[in-house]
Amino acid sequence: MCIVKKIICVFISALMVVTSTMTMFAETKKDYLAVIGDSIAYGLGIENKDDIYGNIVANERDYTLTNDAVNGYTTTDVLNLVEKNEKAKTHLKQAETIVISVGGNDFLQLRNNLDLSEILEVIEKGKDSKMIKNMLKTVKQNLRSIHENIRELNPKAKIVLQTVYNPFLGQSDKFTELLCQLVEMFREDYTQIYYDEAKTDSNMAIADVEETFRTYSNSTGNTSLVQNDYIHPSVKGHRIIADLVEEAMDDVHKASWSSVQKSANALVRLGCRMFE
C-alpha cells in the first residue's frame, strides 16, 4: 500500500508541475509588445522604422508591435493617454510586454521655458529651487498613476521602464553646458524615482538608459548616441536602448519563471502530503 501511495504521489506531483508549466506557456503566448511614451519611443528623426528600438525588439523577439508614443509627450500627457485613449488602452490590455519611455520632456521644458539668466538662477539655488522640486514631485506622482492605470488594464504584463538620459553630456557650447549642469543637479533624484517605482512591482524591470549613455559619454562623449539636435537618440543610440530593453525583458521573465517554479514545488509538497 505504501508503494502505491508513493506512485500516486509522484504521478500527482508530475501532473501538477506539467499543468503549472503549461499554464505559464499559455500566458506567455500573447505576442504583443506595447510601447508608450515620448519622441524617443516614437523614433523621431530616424528615417528607417526598423532602426527604432521598439521595432528592433519586436523583430528580434518575434512580437507584434503597437507603438502609441507621441512626440513631445510629458508624464502628464502619457497619463492622459493611458486613462482616456481607447486605442492605446486596447493595446495595453492585450500586451504581454509593455515598454515605457517618459520623463525627458518634463525636464526639457526647463530649457524651453527659461532664458539664460533664469537657468543661472535655478543652478544657483540648486535642489532648493522650487521649480525643480515641483518637477520632481509631478514626475513621481504621474509615474505612479501611469503604472497604476496600466495595472488596472493588464495585471499580468511584464513592464520595462526606461530611465531618462542627459542628452547634453559631451556637448561643448556654453548654453548646452549650462543645460547639462542644470540636469546634473537633479539627475540622481530623477533616476531614483524610476527605480523606486519599479521596486513596487515584481513584474517591472528597469532599462537603465541613463547609466549606459553616461558610461559611454565618460570615455567618448555621447555625440554619436544622439542626433544633431543633441536630444534624440541616433540609430546607434536606438540599438543600445533596444539591447537594454531586451535585457530588462529577460530579467523580468526570469523572475516570473522563478515564481512559477516555487509555486510548482509547493504543489508537489502538497500533493505528497495528501497521501502521507
The HSE-up count of residue 256 (CA atoms within 13 Å, CB side) is 23
Q: What cell numbers appear for 22 in the block?
A: 503549461
On whether the CB atoms of residues 57 and 245 are closer than 8 A, the answer is yes
Using pLDDT thresholds of 50, 70 and 90, give the confidence band for residue 126. Answer: confident
Q: What per-residue confidence (pLDDT) applies to 29? A: 55
Reported as a single tens digit per residue, the pLDDT across 77-90 is 999 999 999 999 99
At 7, the amino acid letter reads I
Whether 15 is in a domain gets the answer no
Q: How far apart are alpha carbons 175 and 191 in whole angstroms?
A: 23
**Which of the pair, 31 or 43, is modelled with greater confidence?**
43
pLDDT exceeds 80 at position 158: yes
Using pLDDT thresholds of 50, 70 and 90, give the confidence band for residue 3. Answer: low
* CA-wise closest residue to 139 among 104, 183, 167: 104
Reported as a single tens digit per residue, the pLDDT across 88-112 is 999 999 999 999 999 999 989 887 8
Q: How far apart are alpha carbons 211 and 232 in whole angstroms?
A: 16
Three-state SS string over 108-123 comes to HHHHHHCCHHHHHHHH
Whether 16 is in a domain gets the answer no
Whether 39 is in a domain gets the answer yes
Which H or E run includes 29? Answer: none
CATH number of the domain within which 136 lies = 3.40.50.1110
At 212, the amino acid letter reads T
Q: How far apart are alpha carbons 228 and 231 in whole angstroms?
A: 8
Residue partners of 83: CB distance under 8 A and separation at least 6? 149
pLDDT exceeds 50 at position 236: yes
At 119, the amino acid letter reads I
On whether the CB atoms of residues 34 and 57 are closer than 8 A, the answer is no
DSSP tag of 45:
T
Whether 8 is in a domain gets the answer no
- How many CB atoms within 10 Å of residue 234? 18
In order, the DSSP letters of 164-185 are ---TTTT--SHHHHHHHHHHHH
What's the whole-number mean pLDDT along residues 188-204?
97
Whether 37 is in a domain gets the answer yes
Total domains present in the chain: 1
SS3 267: helix
Whether 70 is in a domain gets the answer yes
Whether 269 is in a domain gets the answer yes
Using pLDDT thresholds of 50, 70 and 90, give the confidence band for residue 56. Answer: very high
What's the whole-number mean pLDDT along residues 253-264?
52
**Which of the pair, 237 or 19, is modelled with greater confidence?**
237
Return contacts of 109-115, CB within 8 angstroms, 24+ apart. Answer: 109/74, 110/135, 110/182, 111/179
CA dihedral 93, 96, 97, 102 (to 10 degrees): 0
Note down the domain range covering 109. Answer: 29-273
| Statement: the pTM of the whole predicted model exceeds 0.85 | no
Q: How far apart are alpha carbons 236 and 274 in whole angstroms?
A: 58
DSSP tag of 72:
T
Whether 19 is in a domain gets the answer no
